[in-house]
Structure 1
């Protein structure tokens, strides 16, 4: 297709026309953009560079603001880039920066354009090319253009040098070998007097020090000089970031820089610099008590400030210092507590984290009570933040701060009833986890589970279905601790359980199965004559097989390896009688009968199992007391055997399976396992796959019988089920009216689900923030360790996986190209400098009696290193060589090597080709023993 005509070029729409057209489009904006893109595709093929550049400019606008692809304009952008006009170059570089990436096909074609512009005499063209290089540089571009960047690092034009310093970071990352060429010149710029260049250089070193701070320890004197002399707040902030990384590596450096940082905190009026000083002290200089106290005093100024941004920064700094100095939070606890009611959500979250940092085993109950009160009157987001913080703090390190587990289980139940609670999954996990680990808490756990199960308001909250699942499981697993097992069966089979998901309803049915078996087993053991098949293992010690139990309270059940639990006579609300058992069996048949046709396989299977058990045991239970003849007695014996077998099966305590259990199984001898199962086809080749006819996806209930289809029967059963559900719900409401909300004067019973919990039902909540602050302040006061009435229960470790393995620190790799290149320049062949202790041991004998105290920091910053031998004589040799270099490597060069290097540099010409060749050659620095700068001694 030929390019656009001259008439089209004359009447080409500009970028301003495109923007006006977009703003006038009330509807159909996408259609307008599509039409504009079609015009741009035609215009960009023009041979006129002005037309092409305008089209490229419009395309850049659409790509930047409307995210349209402009990869098709990669080559036209290079064509515009070749234009001698600066306006065209500017548009081309902008388009290239937006669209080029490592996989762009024509990326290599830009190398010569960049090299040409980097050597241009126009500083603005050089700036554009440097900016583009910082965005699109890859390994090839960084390698090919390193000589040009090296030259620009010493440019006389400060604007160009600043841009070159900034692009060095990208070049180092893409091509680490460029460090050997450019690093010395980059370090020389640390002594530049221009604040913009100094800011750029310090920014580059701040980024490099974040990745591998140990490599930049020899540059500590230069950074110290900048910290002391700089009047630019931005430069000081960057230097503080560097020292926050270097100070933990060298204790002597920390002692040296703490005083200048404290002076900055006392004298500066800039809040940004003050905060950076505080953060440096609390993170890296926390061993200095006086500096920490000064920093905490400055933090209080942030906390009482009306500006929410400064208040947030103060809370954040206080949270950092709280990790090692908790007294700092206690001194400011009033401000922290009041911040819980702040309108800014970020401030509330930071204050919540500080409150949780003060939690210990002495005040966990008081703080949790106060925070639950805050959660009741907070918005849903912050309410769940509070609940999540309580759960994570209390469960830390296997509940190490929990002494009274009965209180904690009741707290979990109380948290479940908070209206905005959405932490059901975590509460579910902790209810099960505590029940498995702490045996002494199981009676209270069953009581809390019973209260959760009979509360109908929880069934409608989908976030709490997991809590109900845990409550149902605990009720069935630890039913022997229940005060009234019959009530648990009614709660598990209540009419409203059809609101639950099938997976949770299956747990309800299985738990009801366990509770029913326990009730039947208890009832049979209470008979005047215990069945002959009863095992003595399940009876209390000292009780014979002919013993008679007059009441349910006198019976004890042994669960697995646990000791027998003897119920107190006041525990049970009602004894288990034959009449109650028969009523429960009828309830099971009535509630689970409709579930035999459930579409969920798990629910259907559980219901069939329980109903099958009822069918086996109900005749024996009904006939056992009517006749005492042989026939009826035989049925009784058979029923007792079935009940005993099921009870024995459920009484075995099951723990979790170790996640590493499979790995502990040794492989049998001669067994060869292949990961890809390549021999599976050979082994199973004779087995024919089942035919498709053997599978039937139809429902077995869809067959018509006696002229009635299954759909008609289903409608009829649904009507009957609705009537039965209404009567069951009325009976349930009558028995547990406490958990239902009043429905008006008439007290009309309806099938409408009760609303979620009203905060007014949770008790009287004091809305006065000052009272809550006072209550919280009292709970945070350090108290003497209370004398608990009973020792802390044993928290069982279920698996060795509970203890998280300590992550081993990976050794520093010598293959890290960037860090290795920097170390080669600063340290020589050694990668890691010796620690302070090693350096003290090696130099103590040499410096004994000769150590001189330095009082001038400027003189200290000029002394770069101390090697083995007499350092003063070496310095005299250096001064005898003439003018001393401004930057000196930590390694001292021999006189012979320095002369050889000087002769080689004199022989090289000053042409462009020779300068590039010199830049591309890596610096040949002889390997020396790594040393610690004399500044740190």
Structure 2
């Protein structure tokens, strides 16, 4: 029984149909798995049978299970090869199908299929040839491509149309794996462009369409052939492929675009096929944008697509409009009603394309209106599209340092409004922009603090995970720019509200730190009222000097600390200075000292009562920040109650002054190249490797574990116990051992320490916040883009009512610098081979490849190195006299100008190009092509890189 299944098993073997019915009858997944396992065991027995029919049915069942149920069939690879050699076509087809589905480059026995594929490719039965071609295209490897190229070359001239089409399709796969096959098959591939069967021509053009996508320049010499097809053919699918090729070639050669634009426009005018019309529009948009008449015709066709009821056609119209938008934005503006209406379409792809077009229309004049419309659509859209809208708004408005934003007060309010959109999931982006605008635009900080407070007191935001990052930014700006708040006490209450315990620890840490900043500011204002007024007033004066803070402020002129609604406002302080009422304000502060003290004590009590329980928090960040706040509160209370300060310690007011000065340092954006601009200290030598690491760290030994284990090694446990014992013994005797070791290490390895005096030499090159020259420099870099925007959009830019706030931009800023030096890449092997075949001598002379194998193949032994390239494959008389002979193609290209003179004047090594061609001696049609300079050309025998018909 071990040798194979019995006769009884063969007679009652289940067929493929029985297997499928059995699987469908199983009710559960477990039952299906069990049934499939049993079936695989049966197949393993049946496939060993010597009966071809039994083996074939077994392999068919295994192929089905592999395809639909992912059953491994790699163990049956040899049986697939065995059946592929069967003389019964049914069995052969089963073997080839199994191989094409299950074989991969790592299959061990794949090379055993080479002989059988060669035999079937040379078969007189076209169906066997077709099976072999299909299998080869699926499992082709570099070895198979190399060994079977001669057979494939022969099939390119088959008299069976469907065989020739499959051979042409297989050539593309062979070229990718074995580029040298180009020198053998490329000439016949081009010959088939003149085939009378339109399906064969379509297959060839499809191959060239794929090849041209990788390196279109190599196929410029074939432009006359493609042009003939473009003009003469009436097959829409063939024309579509040719148009794809011209879309790649036209940008490379302006004269080619001038030649093909009229035929393309003619097809666009007369065709009723939407597929061909769209491809014509796409070709015009891609490579013929310099022809105004063609662009106008394309825009008209695009409008027709937009008016179609078919969602597929409407989508194509929007896609074409998006492609034409960068150069002809007016076309988008003309169709803006259709575009905006498409935002509410049921098809999500149409909505996304419409959204791209809407964002393309955004300018300084209409950004507010478009954003208002988009927010209204976001409120009634599904979550996915809602976030697409919000993401588009954020990316467009922040582009190039917010170049289209004139009114930052409006934009900050818009960010706050976006945070309240129910489906918003753009918390991180909104957080980044709130912080970034606060650092870059000084004038918007009062509105930023107001919006931040509104976000902090909104209870709906606290329980939503996606809004936590927004609340983090709101808390940060509230603490960082507290001096711009009308009422710091309201900010403090918003930060300390009980529901903040819903926030994650990382966000609560930001809340607590902002509380610390606000408390420091209020304490400083209490202890040093005169200095507070002076510092805030100077800030207001600087802002007014640079165009900020309008002089027509309607805020009250009172500067009394106790009037919370009007306290700490720099605008109000500036107005007080203008009215010579600063002294009056100082008197008010003096008169209301007692009220201010009560207010500060009340704030201190609230902060202590709220943050006190958090001292025992398990999160170290929260615990650390809470202890800092409580420590400051203790100092403030001692100062208020007049407690005596121990000798040598600072008073609370002095501590508050130091902390306030630290917090007063303005934060700004950091350039990505900031670290690169730090000069290296004199005498610092950076080692290129770590060869001296052993000498530096010789005193520190890390035990090496022989294997990974979750258990701590006993040696390490003993070391830890010993160390802890020593620590307990030495706790009562503090020593300077660690300090002395550090000093000794510095002496030994001073090379790796940065001297403190060197840090003072590093210049502070951070640009000032209101440096107009920085803005002008960035504006000069974007001058062309601004001009294009002004010319394209309708209506033209209107003068704004107030000057645009200063936006801090860094010199080399946040943009990623692109190295202008381009690396020289090696020519693609396929493209190089194509150029050699098309251009012959000229390609070899201009080739820059340095591969050793190419050098050896391009020189004749014992002769001049300038001789043309020779291949190791010969061609029969019939093939070598084909494209290379000027009479073989009926002088088709004599009308192309200088073609005839090129053919008659070509000499190689002083010999005429009418040499006798070598003959093939291989009995099985494995032709070898000897590729000499006078026999290597195909289209326009010795055509230059730019075809003659373009001249």
Structure 2 Cα separation of the partners of residues 482 and 435 of structure 1: 14
CA distance in 2, matches of 1:180, 1:501: 66
TM-score, structure 1 normalization: 0.78
- Corresponding position: 1:819 with 2:822: no
Q: Does 1:235 align with 2:238?
A: yes
Q: Contact between 2:221 and 2:943, CA under 8 Å: does it hold in 1?
A: no
TM-superposed CA distance for 1:241, in Å, is 0.3
Residue 132 of structure 2: which of 129, 132, 142 is its match?
A: 129
Shift of 1:805: 2.8
Q: Measure, in 1, the Cα distance between the counterparts of 2:577 and 2:12.
A: 97
Q: Contact 1:866–1:932 at 8 Å: present in 2 too?
A: no
Relative to structure 1, is the Cα distance of residues 540 and 230 closer, same or farther in structure 2, using a 3 angstrom cutoff? closer
What's the offset of the Cα at 1:683? 2.9
C-alpha distance in 2 between matches for 1:525 and 1:168: 86
Matched, 1:305 2:308: yes
1:194 correspondence with 2:179: no
**3-state SS of 1:193 partner:** coil
Structure-2 separation of matches of 1:814 and 1:827: 19
In the TM superposition, 1:583-732 aligns within 5 A as: 583-623=602-642, 631=644, 638-665=651-678, 666=680, 669=683, 671-673=685-687, 675=689, 677=690, 679-687=692-700, 691-693=719-721
Q: In the alignment, is residue 173 of structure 1 matched against residue 187 of structure 2? A: no
Structure 2 counterparts to residues 217-236 of structure 1, below 5 A: 217-236=220-239
Structure 1 position 930, deviation (Å): 3.8
Superposed, which structure 2 residues align to 1:869-908 within 5 Å? 873=901, 877=904, 896-900=911-915, 903-905=916-918, 907-908=919-920
Judge conservation of contact 2:409–2:447 (CA < 8 Å) in 1.
yes
1:135-173 deviations in Å (ceiling 9; x for gaps): 111111111111111111111111111111000100000
| In structure 2, distance between residues paired with 1:421 and 1:413 | 12
From the superposition, tell whether residues 198 and 808 of structure 1 become closer, same or farther in structure 2 (CA, over 3 Å): farther
Distance 2:932 2:604 in 1: 89
Query: How many residues are paired up?
Result: 789
Farther-moved stretch of structure 1 (239-248 vs 643-652): 643-652
Alignment of 1:726-805 (within 5 A): 782-798=794-810, 800-805=812-817
**Contact residue 189 and residue 198 of structure 1 kept, 8 A:** yes
1:577 paired residue number? 596
- Counterpart for residue 933 of structure 1: 947
**Per-residue deviation, 1:32:** 0.9
1:14 alignment partner in structure 2: 15
User: Given the alignment, which residue of 880, 888, 893 partners 1:862?
Assistant: 893
Distance 1:488 1:565, change over 3 A: farther
Change (3 A) 1:149 1:33: same
Q: Within the alignment, does 1:95 sit opposite 2:98 as a pair?
A: yes
Q: Give the alignment partner of residue 345 of structure 2, picking from 337, 342, 345.
A: 342
- SS of 2:797's equivalent? coil
Are 1:100 and 1:107, in contact at CA under 8 Å, matched by a contact in 2? yes
Distance 1:821 1:896 in 2: 25
Comparing 301-310 with 806-815, greater Cα deviation is found at 806-815
TM-score normalised by the chain length of structure 2: 0.77
The answer to whether the 8 A contact 2:672-2:814 is kept is no
Distance 1:397 1:789 in 2: 23
Change beyond 3 A, Cα 1:655–1:75: same
Distance in 1 (CA, whole Å) between partners of 2:801 and 2:844 is: 56
Gaps of 5+ in 1: 625-630, 697-779, 835-857, 879-890
Quote the Cα distance in structure 1 between the aligned partners of 2:433 and 2:539. Answer: 35
Cα deviation for residue 904 of structure 1 reads 3.0
Q: How far apart are the structure 1 equivalents of 2:388 and 2:300?
A: 29
Q: Tell me, yes or no, if the aligned pair for 2:487 and 2:567 is still in contact at 8 Å.
A: no
- Any conservation in 2 of the 1:209–1:245 contact (CA below 8 Å)? yes
Aligned partners of 1:424 and 1:465 also within 8 Å: yes
CA distance in 1, matches of 2:332, 2:513: 50
2:66 counterpart SS class = helix
Cα distance in 1 for residues equivalent to 2:327 and 2:398: 21
Residue 286 of structure 2: aligned partner:
283
**Which of 183, 188, 196 is the matching residue for 1:185?**
188
2:470 is the alignment partner of 1:467: yes
| 1:786 positional shift | 2.7
Query: 1:866, 1:933 within 8 Å by CA — same for their partners in 2?
Result: no
Q: Is the 8 A contact 1:860 1:935 kept in 2?
A: no
Partner secondary structure for residue 926 of structure 2:
helix
Find the aligned partners of 1:549 and 1:324 in 2 and give their Cα distance: 56
TM-superposition CA deviations, 1:175-197 (whole Å, max 9, x none): 11111111111011111110111
State the Cα distance separating 1:859 from its structure 2 match: 12
Q: 1:801 to 1:75 in 2, by over 3 A?
A: farther
Q: 1:916 aligns with which of 900, 922, 926?
A: 926
Question: What is the root-mean-square deviation of aligned Cα atoms in Å?
Answer: 3.5
**Which residue of the partner structure matches residue 71 of structure 2?**
68
SS in 1 for 2:399: coil
Give 1:304 deviation, angstroms.
1.1
Aligned 8 A contact 2:486 2:568 in 1: no
Change (3 A) 1:104 1:114: same
For residues 810 and 932 of structure 1, what CA distance do their matches in structure 2 show?
A: 25
For the residues of structure 2 that align with 1:361 and 1:87, how far apart are their CA atoms?
71
Task: Deviation per CA, 1:401-425: give whole Å up to 9, x if none.
Answer: 1111111111101111111111111
Displacement after TM superposition at 1:489 (Å): 1.4
SS in structure 1 at match of 2:13: coil
Gapped regions of structure 2 (runs ≥ 5): 542-557, 703-715, 725-791, 847-888
**2:90 and 2:444 mapped to 1: Cα distance?**
78
Aligned to 1:26: 27
